[in-house]
Structure 1
Amino acid sequence: MSNNTTTNVKSTEHLVTTYYPLVLVINGTLLNVLILIVLYRPTFRNTKKQPIIHYMRAIAIFDIFMLYGWNLDHYLSSKHGFRLLTYSIATCKIFGFLNYFAGHSSAWLRVFMCFDRYISASRLRRPWCSRQKGVLIIISCIIILVTLFNFHFLIFACFYRPNGTIDPNAQLYQIYPLWDNINLGVYNCIPFILMVIFNSGVFIYHLIKRRRVRVIQQSQIQHRAISITLVITTFLFLTMTIPATIVAAFFATAPPTDLAKILDSILYTYHLTSFPLYLITFKEFRWEFIKMITCKNNNRRIVPTQVVIAIARTPNQL
């Protein structure tokens, strides 16, 4: 009886670790494509007033890419007995590069999205980096720098061993686990610290400066809702991505276990969370999505309105 129970548990674990990555690929692609469709509808087309929409669109794209690296390899290796990372020299180079490029880009886009919220909240007028042109420049710089940072995969990685199999390392140096250790800092630790700093800055600013008298330009997109979304995203980033990256960095030479695969699946699940978060916390996104699925046309665009925030005067103002 005990042996049958153990066998059933192992069989269930194998089914979950085999097919869940495929579920992530399908659902993650659909949900992130839905984000792009909603964010390109009329309500969100006036990106001059809300440049942060560019970050949200870019993150959705890289979250899709993220699911087609190691995550897809987990399914292919368990179900079909091969991995893209060792299938051919071409797939080895491309997917070796993609595994890190997509993750680094997604993480740093989130960092600068938090930075944009901090800048928008703490300044009366937007600086250049928080305007549409500045945001597009920042996104382009992130993509270029991350590409250059991981470009060595496309040049040096992957070679044939004497027995004819493919080694995903480089002949000149050992990529793994070196790059897994670097990935822990570049993908997890540094972005998480910066996201916490910027989100804390937004919270402290609203807490201390909320009584300042000023006239501000405020879009109908609720800044508070976006800030709440970013706080939740930062917390999920900590709990869902760091454990798997730590395991990859410090236990890279150990044979892959079901626990490691489960932690990996949790990591990749994080890149599906944007859609439900936007739907729950971002009212304009939710309304636009409902109008889209109910086939209601909406030609209303976001137009900034003047909002006057009044406070009691200080003795110097009397």
Structure 2
Amino acid sequence: MSEHDTIDKILSYIPILTIVFGLFGNITCFFIFRFSKKFNKIPSMVFLSFVAIFDTISLFEWNLNHFLVPNFLIALERLNLFSCKIVIFIQIFSLHTSANLLSLMCVDRFVSIKSIPGSFYSRLPFGTIKSAYIWCGCITLIMFLFNIHILIFNGNYIKVIQTNVTEKELVNRTFHYIFKLHNETEICYWYSETIRIFPTMDKINLIVYNIIPFCIMLVFNILLIISTLLDNKSSKYLSNEKALKSIRKKRVITISIISITLAFMILTTPSSLSFGFFFDEISNLKNGSLLFNIFDNISFIFHSSLFFNSFITNTKFRKFCLKHISKTKIKVLTYFKNLIRKKS
């Protein structure tokens, strides 16, 4: 086994860790954001609960392939025609939806902060639980319709790729070189004889999954940072405790949202750029496939990091989790103490 294969084998176990942490973290976030009274009335948490769902779904296709291919030589989309259509569709649909929900969450958060009764911002369709659900539903539907062509056309054509193979044979103590045509079928990725979903989809993915959300997040993150800094300055001159408390609450959630969206921009951009713009250049490198693997792993680490990001940057979320961990710990200890007493 070469050094490259060894590194590839080691990296192949990262997706399993990503799935385990992502499954635990995203499901926990979903239940907290949707069913806890402390969070379920905040519009941004509606967006994040939807993000948690689609982030979890996104971990079970290409990410899982990074484990299955090196260890079992299995690629999920190549199993049959159904898997070819559904795996590629779910992967791209979930990534596009997650990214665009995050970008709209930034818009919603900015409008929520600036919204004062009677102002221009208060008339915009943002800043309420109802509007958050509507936007999440609209984005989900738009991304579904935008990618439905994959379900309809992908894998409809089986491409036969012919390659020249040179074989060396010994005949009458003399080596002869025989040229043969080797046929290889590709059962996925083809819409027709001339149309292949990739690399075109890599460029579309870069625009829909990265460039558009990136631009929206960048603009509104800057606006959120400016608003937070201005609120910090104005809070120095406020004596009203209720107003100060409101500003602090807004600041905590805003910092958490900025942190999550910045993590998205930093961790997912290298993978999309490498596949969308530099695929040929990186493929020609000696360790090109290894670089693609690393970029992809980094990208999927983001989609499993919602819980950890919220725990680190959101004080309210962290206190809520620690409080419930403490309660659970006391309940478990009490249960075992009672069990020991009964036995004795």
1:170 maps to 2:167 = no
Distance 1:100 1:39 in 2: 25
Using CA pairs below 8 Å that are at least 6 residues apart, which structure has the higher relative contact order? 1
Are residues 150 and 120 of structure 1, via their aligned partners in 2, closer, same or farther at CA, if it must alter by over 3 Å?
same
Deviations 1:40-78 (A, max 9, x none): 44333642xx12221111011111011112111111111
Counterparts in 2 of 1:252 and 1:155: CA distance versus 1, 3 Å: farther
Residue type at the aligned position of 1:83: A
Match of 1:225 in 2: 252
**In 2 relative to 1, CA 273–108 (structure 1 residues): closer, same or farther, beyond 3 Å?**
same
Q: RMSD of the TM alignment (CA)? A: 2.7
Written as runs of structure 1 = structure 2, the 5 A alignment for 1:226-305 is 226-252=253-279, 254=283, 257-295=289-327
Superposition TM-score, scaled by structure 2 size = 0.76
Please report the TM-score for the alignment, with normalisation by the length of structure 1.
0.82
- Which secondary structure does the structure 1 equivalent of 2:307 belong to? helix
Q: Tell me the number of residue pairs that the alignment of Structure 1 and Structure 2 aligns.
A: 289
**Aligned partners of 1:87 and 1:166 also within 8 Å:** no
Residue deviations 1:17-55 (CA, integer Å, cap 9, x gap):
2211122112211111111232244333642xx122211
Taking only the aligned residue pairs, the percentage that are identical comes to 29
5+ residue gaps, structure 1: 1-5, 298-318
Distance across 2 between alignment mates of 1:250 and 1:288: 43
Please name the residue that 2:130 is paired with.
133
Residue 64 in structure 1 maps to residue 56 in structure 2:
yes
User: Structure 1: how far apart are the matches of 2:247 and 2:226?
Assistant: 23
Structure 2 unmatched ranges of 5 or more: 161-183, 330-344
Matched residue, 1:302: none
Alpha-carbon distance, 1:221 to partner: 8.3
Q: Name 2:214's counterpart in structure 1.
A: 192
CA distance in 1, matches of 2:197, 2:5: 34
Quote how far apart the aligned CAs of 1:192 are: 0.9
Could you tell me which of 77, 80, 97 is aligned with 1:85?
A: 77
Correspondence 1:37 to 2:31:
yes
In structure 2, how many angstroms separate the alpha carbons of the residues matched to 1:262 and 1:208? Answer: 40
Write the letter of the residue equivalent to 1:59: V
Kindly tell me: are residues 137 and 218 of structure 1, through their superposed partners in 2, closer, same or farther at Cα, counting changes over 3 Å?
Answer: farther
Structure-2 change in CA distance of 1:291 and 1:190 (3 Å): same
**Most deviating of 36-45 and 116-125:** 36-45
Q: Which structure has the larger Rg?
A: 2
